Amino acid sequence: MAVIKVEIRSGAYYDSIILMQLQRSLADQPGIIDAGVVMGTNANKEVLAQSGMLVSEAEIAGADDLLIVVHGNDETSAQAALEKVDELVSSRRSHAGEKDYRPHSMETAGKMLPDAQWVLVSVPGRYAAGVARQAISLNKHVFLYSDNVSLEDEISLKQEAAQKGLLVMGPDCGTAIVNGIGLGFANNVRKGPIGIVAASGTGLQQVSVRIHQMGSGITYALGTGGRDLSEAVHAITALQGLDLLARDPDTKVIVLVSKPPSPIVADALVKAARSVGKPVVVNFIGYATASRRVDNIFFATTFDEAAELAIRLINSSDDFNVEPDISKFAPGQQYLRGLFSGGTLQYEALLILQHYLPVVYSNAPLDKRNKLGDSLVSKDHTVIDLGEDEFTVGRLHPMMDNDLRIRRLEKEAADPKVAVILLDVVLGYGAHGDPASELAPAIAASIQKAKDAGRHLEVVAIVCGTDGDPQGMENQIKMLKDSGARIETSNDAAARYVGRLLQAIERSIQPVAKPTMKQVDLEMFKKPLAGINVGLESFADSLTKQGAQVIHVDWKPMAGSNERLVNILERMRKK
Q: Shortest Cβ distance from residue 330 to a second copy (Å)?
A: 25
Helix (H, G, I), strand (E, B) or coil at 379: coil
Q: What is the dihedral of CA 102, 108, 112, 114, to 10 degrees?
A: 140
- Closer residue to a second copy (CB): 101 or 429: 429
Q: Shortest Cβ distance from residue 163 to a second copy (Å)?
A: 28
With beta carbons less than 8 A apart as the criterion, state whether 548 and 528 touch: yes
From the list 387, 379, 399, 388, the residue with the least C-alpha distance to 337 is: 379
Q: Shortest Cβ distance from residue 66 to a second copy (Å)?
A: 8
Number of residues counted as binding a second copy (CB under 8 A): 115
Contact segment (CB under 8 A) with a second copy among 44-52, 105-113, 269-277, 505-513 equals 44-52
How far apart are the C-alpha atoms of 30 and 50, rounded to whole Å?
23
Helix (H, G, I), strand (E, B) or coil at 213: helix
- Closer residue to a second copy (CB): 411 or 449: 411
Determine if 169 is a binding residue for a second copy (CB under 8 A). no
Determine if 531 is a binding residue for a second copy (CB under 8 A). no
With beta carbons less than 8 A apart as the criterion, state whether 38 and 48 touch: yes
Determine if 203 is a binding residue for a second copy (CB under 8 A). yes
Determine if 366 is a binding residue for a second copy (CB under 8 A). yes
Strand partners, 337: 382, 421
Count the neighbouring beta carbons within 10 Å of the beta carbon of residue 348: 18
Measure CA 403 to chain center: 49
Contact segment (CB under 8 A) with a second copy among 77-85, 209-217, 517-525, 554-562 equals 209-217
How far apart are the C-alpha atoms of 121 and 495, rounded to whole Å?
49
**Angle 125-137/151-163 helices, nearest 10 degrees?**
10
Q: Is 488 exposed, middle or buried (0-12, 13-18, 19+ CB in 10 A)?
A: buried
Determine if 503 is a binding residue for a second copy (CB under 8 A). no
With beta carbons less than 8 A apart as the criterion, state whether 240 and 167 touch: yes
For a second copy, the binding residue among 57, 147, 380, 554 (CB under 8 A) is 147
**Angstrom distances, CA of residue 488 to CA of 431, 491, 493, 500:** 19, 7, 7, 15
Determine if 434 is a binding residue for a second copy (CB under 8 A). no
Residues 457-496 that bind a second copy (CB under 8 A): 464-466, 468-470, 489-493
From the list 160, 155, 101, 150, the residue with the least C-alpha distance to 128 is: 150
Q: Shortest Cβ distance from residue 467 to a second copy (Å)?
A: 8
- Closer residue to a second copy (CB): 300 or 443: 300
Contact segment (CB under 8 A) with a second copy among 40-48, 86-94, 109-117, 503-511 equals 40-48
- Closer residue to a second copy (CB): 392 or 508: 392
Residues 539-558 that bind a second copy (CB under 8 A): 539, 542, 545-546
How far apart are the C-alpha atoms of 475 and 426, rounded to whole Å?
14
Residues 384-413 that bind a second copy (CB under 8 A): 387, 389-397, 399-401, 403-404, 407, 411
Residues 508-527 that bind a second copy (CB under 8 A): none
Count the neighbouring beta carbons within 10 Å of the beta carbon of residue 87: 10
Determine if 174 is a binding residue for a second copy (CB under 8 A). yes
Determine if 101 is a binding residue for a second copy (CB under 8 A). no
Determine if 427 is a binding residue for a second copy (CB under 8 A). yes
Q: Shortest Cβ distance from residue 211 to a second copy (Å)?
A: 10
- Closer residue to a second copy (CB): 126 or 455: 126
Contact segment (CB under 8 A) with a second copy among 110-118, 152-160, 171-179, 517-525 equals 171-179
- Closer residue to a second copy (CB): 103 or 174: 174
